[in-house]
Structure 1
Amino acid sequence: MKRNRNIGSLLLMAVGLLLMAAALYELIPALLAYKRADDTYEALPVWYEVLQVDFETLKEANPDVIGWIYFDNIEQIDYPILYSGDDETYLHTDLYGNASKSGCIFMEGNNVPDFNDCHTILYGHNMKNGSMFGSLKQYKNDGFYEKNAYFTVFTEDAAYRYQIFAYSDVPEDSDVYTTGYLPDETFDGFLTELLKSSYKDTGVTVGKDDKVLTLSTCSGDGLRFVVHAVRVDEHESGV
């Protein structure tokens, strides 16, 4: 009888081991899949790490450099941003002071060059090859906005994440080019008008306490094409 009990115990142990092995067989691939997924996401850089800008070298070339604009999926928009205090200097002058049809991406002269005005404006030429701000016109194409709703501005002190909320063609003397707003009802009304005139209802909400950045380029027939974005995140450099 004792021998039979031993055999029975051994059989139970064997069955238990088989069940454990079967469970592990099902579990291990799942665990490995989760591990691979974690490794994949850890390898992807967060938005403020996708670009490392050497501002020291840029400022040695030109002290008017105040930032860098980078679009996630639009390869052509990847440029330094300059500020001269006027709207003429970098229309047809490159980073190194040479005459250039394409000029530079530059900030409105009436803005404070720290990107913390309620409304900041950047200008760039509408180049036929899509360089400078020539690619912005693609927002008029169906489906383009959905894949290109975000971009980042890097400065020496921080990285700012923006989400596009409106875009349209406007005359050269449009109120769109107004700066100097305070975070009040007047600014709130201005933003409401931008949303109303947009070619697309993006569903993005904006208000008087937001920081808004407008990208402006020529559009033909005396019009300009403007893309409006709201700051949705920021990250201090070195943090």
Structure 2
Amino acid sequence: MKRAGWWLASLGVVAAAVYGWQLVTAAGLVSPVFVPSPQRVWSALQRGIQTGALTNYTLQTVVHMFWGWFAASCAAIALGSIIGMSPTIRAYLQPSLELMRPLPASATIPIFTLALGLNDGLVLSVIAFGAVWPTLLSTIYGFESVDERHYEVAAALGMSRFDIVRKIALPSALPDILAGMRVSVTIALILTIVCEMIAGVGGLGQWILNAGRTFRADNLFAGIFVLGLLGLISTNLIVGAERYMLRWKQT
């Protein structure tokens, strides 16, 4: 009931914002060239879906975002678990990680462009580089924070290294890993749009850029709406998976 109440409150805020938007545009306080009415945006959204153009662009963005995020998550969990469980490796790699972590992913676009060209490889590489850090650092912290006494008990029981990771380290680090993945999926979506605008490989980034260049504000706002919807869906999918995988913590 409490969660349903929050959803109703959120919908109320959205409805109030759309109503205010309608009042502003109907009163002519803003130019329709730059800020279309909600009806025009809704019509553009319907038109884009009916023709299939907006649907195709959206699917391209989903593919770019998912594979970039998936590659980043796999690399982050594998590398983070190794670094987190080994103080020696952590001591060697920590300075390099701290040097690379603050680099904006957008600053690597020229490097990847020179290496890969303006194509899907560029998009996926930049997304993976930017999205890897939250999950990597969370994974390192999660494995590093496992109580040493758990390892001592596992050693006394004669557990193999694989079983120690699977039955002790990974479950203990899982909350931190999932929290990092939840942050990284948002970063992946942002970088997807940026790279699609630059590389010209389709997707919502290209849709929004083309709409802005041709002064099609209705298409532009429709693309932004779909983009926000994608962010909402992807975040809630991660949160749902997190609740399911960590249900043992609630019992």
Higher helix share goes to which structure?
A: 2
Higher strand share goes to which structure?
A: 1
| TM-score normalised by the chain length of structure 1 | 0.21
Q: Which has the larger radius of gyration?
A: 1
| TM-score normalised by the chain length of structure 2 | 0.20
> Greater relative contact order: 1 or 2 (C-alpha under 8 angstroms, separation 6 or more)?
2
